[in-house]
Amino acid sequence: MEAILAVTSKLAAPFDLMSMLSEVVSAAKQVLKADRGSVWLYDAAADQLVLEIATGIAPVRVPASTGLAGACAHTRRIINVPDCYADARFNPDVDRQSNYRTRCMLTLPLVDHNDVLVGVMQVLNKADGVFDESDEALATVLAAQCAVALQRVRMTAAVIEGEKMRQELEMAREVQMSTLPSVMPEVPGYDLYGTSRPASQTGGDTFDLSHIDQGLLVVLGDATGHGIAPALSVTQMHAMLRMAFRLGADLETAFMQVNNQLASTLADDRFITAFIGLLDVASHRVRFHSGGQAPILHFQAATGTCAHHDPTSFPLAAMPLASLKPAVNVALLPGDILVLLSDGIYEYHDAQGEEFGEQRVEEILKANRGTPVAELSAILFAAVHAFAKGAPQEDDITMVLVKRLPDAAAHKMFRRSFDSLQAIFAFTADFCSRHGVDSGLLPTVDFVVEELFTNMVKYSPDGGAEVRIDIAAIAGGVEMALTDYDVEQFDVTLAPDVDTGLPIEQREPGGLGLHLIRRMVDSIDYEYSQERRQSRIRFRKTLAGPARSRETPGTGD
């Protein structure tokens, strides 16, 4: 009994299976004065006994019904064989292979305290004779200790394996997310937003919104299944599409070739539903193909309702395509929104199994038609979560919203005189308030327009009688242009910076306006048309632009 207590404490230490097995075997050999020992672990799923030999070497597996070990696993009783070669259940092959002679053998079931069979332990050749009844009693006590210790290690291993799997999923997720656009492209007259919120397990959503030579690329994709595979599939599709377009493919070619490539690459049971569209921002038309991605909602501002479009094809990768139906061609009118949502939204269900559905989406679109789309997206998320009342998100949720800003642009002619400033400020303020442009931008916008306009008044007194001012709402702000007619070329944006560190006696007010403008706007550019003798200065100011905060460096020094 003292011997058992001594080995029990040793069994508490190891955390990996191989060292635990070797501890168990050496404990058994020590306690039972045996020459050799081995432990067969029971694999319940396969109903096999598994003999681990060493780390890195494939274990020996035998059906759990053969030999002395099998008999012990089956009966869960100790088997004491004093002369192995006289017992029919004994398999002498092992002796032959290892050049050893087994005389006597004790085979013990390892059963933990939940009555689960962990394995079978065998000890061979007692030092001075055969195993007797007191050895059997001792072995039974020892076997119980060993079973518990082994089971603990096996469960720890399962937890570690689960953690490894989680980390691998996370890496796949990282790759998947890294391909998504982090900054929305800016398109005058449009408000664009795309976002993807993964579920806890890796799903297979992707989206794209980017300027390419063919237009503004709009993509939403959703690969079947969960885990690493769909994450990699959509990432593949995303990259293939970008590459196809970069190589000059048109919409049809890109759609077909990417489909055909995916069909030959992906496993037979995998496919990707995807919307692939190109927006021509000049004609405000979206041409698209949809491989099984639906519904495609087109919110129409004029009626406050949604038009639904069907897919033009089956999901990508399902099978090769030889030909394609014509693309759908949709005209976006002022205020219209193209709404692409992955089924994670429509199919999000509450605890009772009711789905969020299309109707709720349409109501939200109608009620929030004037809201910037980034905010609209947040409203949709909030509505889905409120609806689900705590039911977990089971699928990735991805949204791509393409909104043509309502009546997004205005322009007006102003007399070439300082006296026009009042009217200009009123024009800008009125536009901003009608189009929801943040009024906090007004002082800066007014400042920039005044500097540019008064420059025109001062330096081109012989120009046309009027200056044209254009204003357009863009995401988070405005784009404005001042056009001066019948003037010489003069690029004010090239005016040198002012040395703001000079002592006051040397400071002059001249040039300060442009010095300041450059620090206030997101961008400014100048273009001159020789034929029309026309100067145009265009600038953008958004909330995301140079901050009006105290931390902003910009004293010009």
Task: Give yes or no for residue 466 binding another protein (CB under 8 A).
Answer: no
Task: Give yes or no for residue 515 binding another protein (CB under 8 A).
Answer: yes
3-state secondary structure of 197: strand
Task: Give yes or no for residue 519 binding another protein (CB under 8 A).
Answer: yes
Tally the residues of the chain: 557
Check if the beta carbon of residue 475 is closer than 8 Å to that of residue 542. Answer: yes
CB of 424 to another protein, least distance (A): 10
Task: Give yes or no for residue 507 binding another protein (CB under 8 A).
Answer: yes
Task: Give yes or no for residue 522 binding another protein (CB under 8 A).
Answer: no
Q: What DSSP character marks residue 131?
A: -
For another protein, which residue of 15, 85, 100, 418 counts as binding (CB under 8 A)?
Answer: 418
How many residues of this chain interact with another protein, rule: CB under 8 A? Answer: 34
| H helices present in 266-349, as ranges | 343-346
| Contacting range for another protein; rule: CB under 8 A; set: 181-189, 388-396, 515-523, 536-544 | 515-523
Task: Give yes or no for residue 447 binding another protein (CB under 8 A).
Answer: yes
CB of 369 to another protein, least distance (A): 32
Classify burial at 113, counting beta carbons within 10 Å of its beta carbon; exposed 0-12, middle 13-18, buried 19 or more: exposed
For another protein, which residue of 2, 128, 505, 531 counts as binding (CB under 8 A)?
Answer: 505
Task: Give yes or no for residue 181 binding another protein (CB under 8 A).
Answer: no
Task: Give yes or no for residue 43 binding another protein (CB under 8 A).
Answer: no
CB of 539 to another protein, least distance (A): 15
Structure tokens at 23: 């501890």
**What residue type is 490 in one-letter code?**
F
Check if the beta carbon of residue 206 is closer than 8 Å to that of residue 196. Answer: yes
d(CA 534, CA 486): 6
Classify burial at 539, counting beta carbons within 10 Å of its beta carbon; exposed 0-12, middle 13-18, buried 19 or more: buried
Q: CA dist 312 to 218, 224, 231, 328, Å?
A: 16, 19, 24, 8
Q: Which is nearer to another protein, 308 or 548 (CB)?
A: 548
CB of 437 to another protein, least distance (A): 16
Task: Give yes or no for residue 498 binding another protein (CB under 8 A).
Answer: yes
**What residue type is 187 in one-letter code?**
V
| H helices present in 60-101, as ranges | 67-75, 93-98
Structure tokens at 511: 């040039």
For another protein, which residue of 390, 422, 530, 531 counts as binding (CB under 8 A)?
Answer: 422
Task: Give yes or no for residue 92 binding another protein (CB under 8 A).
Answer: no
For another protein, which residue of 30, 201, 257, 454 counts as binding (CB under 8 A)?
Answer: 454
Task: Give yes or no for residue 550 binding another protein (CB under 8 A).
Answer: yes
Q: What DSSP character marks residue 371?
A: S
Interface contacts to another protein, rule CB under 8 A: 418-419, 421-422, 425, 443-444, 446-447, 450-451, 454, 498, 500-502, 504-505, 507-509, 512-513, 515-516, 519-520, 548, 550, 552, 554-557
